[in-house]
Amino acid sequence: MVTFYQFVREAILTLSGQTPIPRIPLIKAKLLSSIKKIPGRTEFQRGIYEQDHEGVFKVSSLKDQGSGILRSMSEANCFIVLHEHMAHLEKDTWVDIQLFDSLF
């Protein structure tokens, strides 16, 4: 699913004649729990975001992140973008998220 949203989406939009191709916006959100990650590559974890009464985005990572696990994909409403340089992220760390409702 990540590959589709990050690469195939753009190819489909290009082939359908849409120009310019809209970029998927990155939105800053606070982590509601810690995330472990090994630095060295960018990861896209499935997450659930919410917006509080002050307009602040908050996000939590879903437990099962495997490529063959569709349940967490069906429950997620965003990707948490964990950039290459990031390692263990504590609760309340600011991260980038990509909302699913802005993918097309």
State both tokens at 71.
């349940």
Name the amino acid, one letter, at 13: L
- Topology annotation, domain 25-102: Beta-clip (2.40.340)
| pLDDT of amino acid 102 | 54
Cβ distance 101 to 79 under 8 Å? no
First to last CA, the chain: 14
Using CA atoms, how far apart are residues 87 and 72, in angstroms rounded to an integer?
22
- 68 vs 18, 62, 82, CA distance in Å? 31, 14, 20
pLDDT for 1 equals: 75
The one-digit pLDDT tens for each residue of the chain (104 residues) are 777 888 788 888 889 898 887 778 899 999 999 999 999 999 999 999 999 999 999 999 998 777 777 777 778 999 999 999 999 999 999 999 999 865 54
In contact, 59 and 97? CB cutoff 8 Å? yes
Q: How far apart are CA 80 and CA 102, in angstroms?
A: 14
- Both tokens of 55, joined, read 């307009």
Q: Scanning the structure block, which residue is given the tokens 């997450």?
A: 47
Question: What does the pLDDT read at residue 60?
Answer: 96
